[in-house]
Amino acid sequence: MNDFLTVGQLITCINSALTSEPSLRNCAVLGEVSALQVREPHIYFQLKDTEGCIDCALFGYKRQSFVPKAGDKIIAIGTPDVYRVNGKLSFKIVKISLFGIGELLKKIEE
């Protein structure tokens, strides 16, 4: 028996812990959109507030009733995920809705 995990096994364990945690499955997160990139048919962006930032992916964004833009304050429903290839934590969004104009954008506009 080995006293170590491979990198892939570690990422699998972390991802399993994240996706099996009931409070993290389809959780709603409030934040402001920044660094938005469209890569058809998906969009990638950061969701941030004054306390933190997380990379997000919205696959098949054209199926959504609302498409975010930089500076939007949104509520994103999804599940955290660790991408095996690079070990990065991200938030996979399944539903998105507008909450208002983000505080960070307001400060820039003032």
pLDDT (average), residues 93-101: 89
Q: What percent of the chain has pLDDT over 90?
A: 61
In the predicted model, what is the mean pLDDT of the chain? Answer: 88
**Per-residue pLDDT tens for 37-77?**
998 889 999 999 999 999 999 988 778 778 899 999 999 99
**Per-residue pLDDT tens for 1-47?**
579 999 999 999 999 998 889 999 899 999 999 999 998 889 999 99
Task: Spell out a b/e string for 66-95, using b for 16 or more CB atoms within 10 Å of the CB, else e.
Answer: eebeebbbbebebbbbbeeeeeeebbebee
User: In whole angstroms, what is the distance from residue 51 CA to residue 66 CA?
Assistant: 25
pTM above 0.75, yes or no: yes
Q: What percent of the chain has pLDDT over 70?
A: 91
Question: Is omega for the bond preceding 22 within 30 degrees of 0, making it cis?
Answer: no
